[in-house]
Structure 1
Amino acid sequence: MVNILFIGALFAIMYIVMIRPQQKQIKAHRELISGLKKGDEVITQGGMIGRIQVVSEREITLEVANGVRIRVLKTSVAGRYVVGPEAPAAKTEDKKEEK
């Protein structure tokens, strides 16, 4: 009886730690893919950053540079590319030299 409880506890822990977060991640990725539209900036799993020009059922066309367009599968989109404020420059404090 103790062995059955132990196995059940192990399965519950694995579900909470591994399976459930992965299911949430997959659901979020599906929502991202279904919400893609023209003009969005995205980053692919390969690291390509581009603006969506055409959205079809399985593919999107990205403009990665002026006049340079590539076709990629929707499933290869890793996420939206949000250009945030640049990181503040490193502060340099003037150190007074001791005499």
Structure 2
Amino acid sequence: MFISNAYANAAGAPQGGETMQLIFMLVVFGLIFYFMIFRPQSKRVKEHKNLMGSLSKGDEVLTNGGILGKITKITAENDYVLLEINDNNQITIKKDYIAAVLPKGSIKSL
């Protein structure tokens, strides 16, 4: 008397198009992630490894901390580099912290 009758919905089950649309959107987001994030980052890592492999004694380099120096010694077994900042000062840094190799004579031009 106080409770209304409940009737089942006559509509059918959802179509398969919704799941295909969801899968399509996930594939699109995966491609966006790959081309905008993963691929450029892997390119940068590859370029940095090539830079680390091409370092030699006498190269003028810039570190991530902004220090300019000339490589005086490279130790291959533990990946450390001895940088000469000026005639009196030398520092030891890890190879990974070298950001760029500068053209010859750029330190003297400053």
- TM-score band, normalised by shorter chain: 0.7 to 0.9
CA distance in 1: counterparts of 2:61 and 2:41, whole angstroms? 22
RMSD over aligned CA atoms reads 1.2
1:8 aligned onto 2:27: yes
Q: Equivalent of 1:49, from 45, 49, 68? A: 68
Aligned partner of 1:66: which letter? D
Q: Equivalent of 1:39, from 33, 48, 58? A: 58
- Paired residue secondary structure (1:65): coil
Q: Rg larger in 1 or in 2? A: 2
Deviations 1:19-42 (A, max 9, x none): 101100000000000110000000
Unaligned runs of 5+ in 2: 1-19
Aligned partner of 1:3: which letter? L
Quote the sequence identity (%). 32
Aligned partner of 2:93: which letter? V
* Equivalent residue number for residue 66 of structure 1: 87
TM-score, normalising length: structure 1 = 0.81
Unaligned runs of 5+ in 1: 87-99
* Equivalent residue number for residue 29 of structure 1: 48
